Amino acid sequence: MNLKFWKKNGTTAAADSKKKSTAREWTDAIIFAVIAATLIRTFFIEAYTIPTPSMEKSLLVGDFLFVSKVNYGARTPMTPIAFPFAHHTILGMKAYSDVVQWDYHRIPGFQDIKNGDVVVFNYPVDVDPATGLPRPVDKRENYIKRCIAIAGDTISVIKGEAYVNGKPAPVQQQGQTDYTVQTDGTDLNRKTLQEMHISGDKISSNVYDLTMTPENAEKMKQFSSVKSVQKFVYPDSIADPSIYPQDAAFKWNVDNFGPLWVPKKGATLKLTKENIALYRHCINFYEKNELKEQPDGFYINGKKTDSYTFKMNYYFMMGDNRHNSLDSRFWGFVPEDHVVGKALFIWMSYDSEGGFFSKIRWSRLFNGIH
């Protein structure tokens, strides 16, 4: 028997059996935790918070949500080189490198986006303020809105009410909007308005401009001092130049919009001078083609054509706070590669303006999102 062979093996075994140092154990544990958490938030579920009132009163500022990545199918990373747990910036610095960019792919989910779903997505027109250039798709700001129209639908907003394919939207007004309230000259009780979570201002001796839910509007009609409660709607005679597609030919505003067809993957659109403004950004920017408009017609990637077949599904998103939401009425469609996930439930709700014992909105904890 080779004695040196056994000695060598014994020495190796002893070295392998040595206990890891405390620093090594902590390092291994941290690396494992970072990898596990990254995989979970990339492919399964992630926490988000509501920073603005665009979804009130369905979702409130200070609501903390869990958003599922598996319902619609998890999107594989598109910008893989990035700091863990950071989105696009960290300590005021860029938190990712766009040297490596992967194409869009999505793992199959167990449902498609439906009309009325509350969806988290990347803000389609987000840019890096330092460069003025668009950020990579998966590093654009996260937005949350309600999907009013899915691919293939035709969306219209008429006098503040949404219509899909000529019928009232399945999920109509879930949040709040503006009302004009006229009283007999008696001031409305500010404390009562605060308790009802109604905001707004007095604009004359007996007229108020208030933002509230339809339920609270009905309650206010019962106040003895209230003479009328009218939903405020911008007249269709007023054209808002900031409304999509920011073209003078389309005289739309937030309460009177469309009709607008939402592009669908595989659908072919006949291109005309009348509709090109509506779909130019989809063809050029989202689907990365070179579209040129010449006197003799349209050219896509150097070839003359009078039609275009879309490569992705698109969605039309709106906030439930209809007069205080930056949504598809202003910047157009949400492409499918921008979709992050489906909002599931509220796991925490924090009211920064509440009293010491009422900072947490206990009644909202673990509420589902509908």
> What pLDDT score does 5 carry?
44
Which phi-psi region, left, alpha or beta, contains residue 338 (left: φ > 0; alpha: ψ -120 to 50)?
alpha
pLDDT digits (tens, 9 = 90+) for 266-318: 999 999 999 999 999 999 999 999 999 999 999 999 999 999 999 999 999 99
Q: Which residues are catalytic?
A: 54, 145
pLDDT digits (tens, 9 = 90+) for 147-159: 999 999 999 999 9
> What pLDDT score does 172 carry?
57
Q: Residue 19: which pLDDT band, with cuts at 50, 70 and 90?
A: low
> What pLDDT score does 339 carry?
98
* For range 26-35, the mean pLDDT: 88
Cis geometry, peptide bond prior to residue 259 (ω within 30 degrees of 0):
yes
Q: How far apart are CA 300 and CA 302, in angstroms?
A: 5
> What pLDDT score does 170 carry?
74
> What pLDDT score does 219 carry?
94
> What pLDDT score does 18 carry?
55
pLDDT digits (tens, 9 = 90+) for 187-217: 999 999 988 989 999 999 899 999 999 999 9
Q: Residue 69: which pLDDT band, with cuts at 50, 70 and 90?
A: very high
Sequential DSSP letters for 53-116? GGGTTTS-TTEEEEEESSSS-PBPPSS--B-TT--SEETTEE-B--SS-PPP-B---S----TT
Q: What is the percent of the chain where pLDDT is above 90?
A: 81
Residue written as tokens 């030919």?
A: 249
Tell me the pairing of strands 63-68 and 45-49: antiparallel
Q: According to CATH, where is 3.30.70 located in the chain?
A: 177-231
> What pLDDT score does 173 carry?
56
> What pLDDT score does 9 carry?
53
Q: How far apart are CA 349 and CA 61, in angstroms?
A: 8
> What pLDDT score does 3 carry?
45
Name the class of domain 32-160+236-265+312-368: mainly beta
Q: Residue 6: which pLDDT band, with cuts at 50, 70 and 90?
A: very low
Q: According to CATH, where is 2.10.109.10 located in the chain?
A: 32-160+236-265+312-368
> What pLDDT score does 272 carry?
97
Pick the CATH number of 177-231 from 3.30.70, 1.10.10, 1.10.3470, 3.40.50: 3.30.70
pLDDT digits (tens, 9 = 90+) for 78-117: 999 999 889 999 988 999 999 999 999 999 999 999 999 9
pLDDT digits (tens, 9 = 90+) for 106-133: 999 999 999 999 999 999 999 999 899 9
